Amino acid sequence: MDSIKAKVIYINGPVVKAENAESFKMREMVQIGRKKLIGEIISIEKDIATIQVYEETSGLEWGEEVVSTDKPLCVKLGPGIIGNIFDGIERPLDRLYETGTAFIPEGIGLITIDKEKLWDVEITVKAGDMLLPGSTYATVKESSLIVHKLMVPPAIKGKAVFVEKSGKYNIEHTVVKLEGGNDVYELKLYQEWPIRDPRPVSRRKPIQTPLITGQRVIDTFFPLAKGGTAAIPGGFGTGKTITQHQLAKWSDADIIVYVGCGERGNEITEVLEDFPKLIDPRSGKSLMERTVLIANTSNMPVAAREASIYTGITIAEYYRDMGYNIAIMADSTSRWAEALREISGRLEEMPAEEGYPAYLPSRLAQFYERASDVETLSGENGSVTIIGAVSPAGGDFSEPVTQNTKRVVSSFLALDKSLAYARHYPAINWLNSYSGYIADLSDWYEENVAKDMLELRAKMLRILQEENKLMEIVKLVGEDILPDDQRLILEISRVIKIGYLQQNAYHKDDANVSPQKQYRMLSVINKLYERALDCIKNGVPISHVKKDDLFYKITTMKYNVPEDRLKLLDAMIEEIDEYYDSLKCKYGKGECKL
């Protein structure tokens, strides 16, 4: 069948209309004009199709041809994805750079993962085997950390009638032929998948494991879950991107898909320069060995920005199907929503709230619902965790993107301007944030960290909330007027805030903290609180209870206790006991060890 050819009749930015297009299908990918710009059909009326174009339309002419490709917008899934950087429709940016210019040229057509590179393929099936959807027929060592399993695509099954020997092949090489029914399927080293369709799984499992991030405020207070969803909203300058970077660096997922959606070019460059140098604490290998970057910076074409998060999630799902735990960071979903709005505006659709199209909530929900902890088609366990940054206009959380996101995510890490102004990082507000996973994860914490971890968590949160209430009074009358036990709450809150919640992303012992160390640190603070409270109840004045250098030492323990010397924290507990024992003794209430 000849491909259908239509004619361009209307051009307005990224929106193009073509006539003579009655046989185009919705969401089909097309190539437009002499430069073969890539676009997607987004509506059809009579014989006129509306196309959103993923490249700059400058220079396009009325009457140019639109050629159908007869398939929806797809990504190629195969070895060569890990450690790579792609644009919003999976074109490798490093290959574009090798063409000789630091700028992105136009009309580059459809290139994706490397076709030439030879991979060491190990075939794991033999002729005559019956292969079902999702079963593995070969493996490739894609990076030092990732073994890439080549799986039979979801809709295909059959008997292997041809099996290639293990060896070095490029991705276009057919390694297995399957005979199923009347068809013969050729399996290469890749498969294609339409980005807007979730990949099928055998079943979804309930949430049960946290995604450990090494960030105290998250792991202790507002945990994320493998297969769960989280949103990080915050106005500009509150540290969304740095929080996302921290999560990408330190979370215990097997693979990180980082989608820079409409953000700054320099930030992507920073990731590109930093990540290869950073060492993953769990594997001892470079972080780039487990990272995929999708970059569509704010000045790249807006339609590709809309597609970029789907490209990212499809890649994540593909690796999930191999049995990996994936965390996908989308920075920022607001830019994606704005891309929707921009295209919707050009289509002259009726706007809903703040100019956003009425289908914004449903699109957001569809995206976040692709997060899951699953049993894959081949029976393995894998998960996709979505962590989306939200950039509310003016830092106002009542705007539509934040509100609609809030409805579909379970962890909400609210970034706060005033904390950021005081350089309290990560600027996650402990009063507005929440995590819906505490109940699901309590078993895990009890088994893997400590029995009383969640109790301590609740207690510290109570102290912080109490402090918030007391601060209202302090703002009116000053701190001196409060009774001593309440002043102690303020002092302990200060220790929690500075010594525990604040975390220095650039300090070697503080950037990433294990849950065990988090628990021990929390125990030290708890000990300090309990002993100090006990003294105050026995009439010791706060001026003595708050021993400056002891408090200072506890506040700075985060810098002075490396992961491999957690015993130092026990010493600190002893020191606390010693000081308050002697204090109590001095005031004649306790046992004196003289």
Partner 1 sequence: MKIKYLKLDKIDGPLIMLSGVKHATYDEIVDIEVAGQKPKKGRVVQIDRDKVIIQVFESTTGISLTNSSVAFSGKPMQIPLSKDILGRVFNGIGEPIDGAGFYAENKYEIGGRPINPVGRKYPRNYIQTGISSIDGLTTLIRGQKLPIFSGDGLPHNQLAAQIVKQAKIAEADAGNSNTENFAIVFAAMGIKHDEAEYFKKQFELSGVSSRVVMYVNLADEPIVERITTPRCALTAAEYLAFEHDMHILVIMTNMTSYCEALREISSAREEVPSRKGYPGYLYSDLASLYERAGMIKNAKGSITQIPILTMPNDDIAHPVPDLTGFITEGQIILSRELFQKNINPPINILPSLSRLMKDGIGEGYTREDHPDVANQVFSAYSHVKDVRALAQVIGEDDISEIDRKYMEFGRQFEQKLLNQGFDTNRNIEQTLNLMWELLTVLPKEELNRLNPELIQKYYKG
Work out which of 139, 291, 344, 378 binds partner 1, going by CB under 8 A.
344
H-helix or E-strand spanning residue 435: strand 434-435
**DSSP assignment of 72-91, as one string?**
ESEEEESTT-TT-EE-TTS-
Which 3 state secondary structure label does DSSP give 168? Answer: strand
Q: Which is nearer to partner 1, 56 or 375 (CB)?
A: 56
Quick check: 43 binds partner 1 (CB under 8 A)?
A: no
> How many residues contact partner 1, by CB under 8 A?
80
How near is the Cβ of 475 to partner 1 at its closest, in Å?
A: 6
Region near partner 1 per CB under 8 A, out of 75-83, 246-254, 262-270, 438-446: 262-270
Q: Which of residues 3-22 bind partner 1 (CB under 8 A)?
A: 9-13
Examine residue 359 and tell whether it contacts partner 1 (CB under 8 A). no
Per-residue tokens: 112: 């994706």
Residues 171-230 that bind partner 1 (CB under 8 A): none
HEC string for 500-544? HHCCCCCCCCCCCCCHHHHHHHHHHHHHHHHHHHHHHHCCCCHHH
Q: How far apart are CA 71 and CA 191, in angstroms?
A: 14
Contact set for partner 1, span 273-302 (CB under 8 A): 273, 295, 297-300, 302
Out of 1, 2, 61, 508, the residue judged to bind partner 1 by CB under 8 A: 61
Closest C-alpha to 219, from 420, 538, 438: 438
Q: Out of 128, 181, 284, 394, which residue is the one contacting partner 1 (CB under 8 A)?
A: 394
Q: Cα-flanking dihedrals φ and ψ of residue 56, to 5°?
A: -60, 130
The piece of 22-30, 128-136, 251-259, 468-476 that touches partner 1 (CB under 8 A) is 468-476
Binding status of residue 483 toward partner 1 by CB under 8 A: no
Residues 64-123 that bind partner 1 (CB under 8 A): 85, 93-94, 96-97, 101-106
Nearest to 310 by CA among 41, 90, 26, 38: 90
Using rule CB under 8 A, residue 364 touches partner 1: no
Place of tokens 């960030």: 215
Q: 70 vs 267, which CB is nearer to partner 1?
A: 267
Q: Which of 391, 410, 486, 493 binds partner 1 (CB under 8 A)?
A: 391
Q: Does residue 318 contact residue 376 with C-beta atoms inside 8 Å?
A: no
**CA distance linking residue 325 with residue 305, whole number of Å:** 25
Task: Let me know: does 151 contact 136? Beta carbons within 8 Å.
Answer: yes
Site for partner 1 contains 446 (CB under 8 A): no
For residues 355 and 562, which CB has a smaller minimum distance to partner 1 in the complex? Answer: 355
Does 506 sit near partner 1 (CB under 8 A)? yes
Only one of the segments 74-82, 138-146, 368-376, 394-402 lies at the binding site for partner 1 (rule: CB under 8 A); that segment is 394-402
3-state secondary structure of 478: coil
Which residues contact residue 572 at a Cβ distance below 8 angstroms, ignoring those fewer than 6 apart? 524, 553, 554, 557
Q: How far is the CB of 206 from partner 1 (least distance, A)?
A: 37
If one asks whether residue 353 binds partner 1 (CB under 8 A), the answer comes out as: no
Token pair for 400: 């539509």
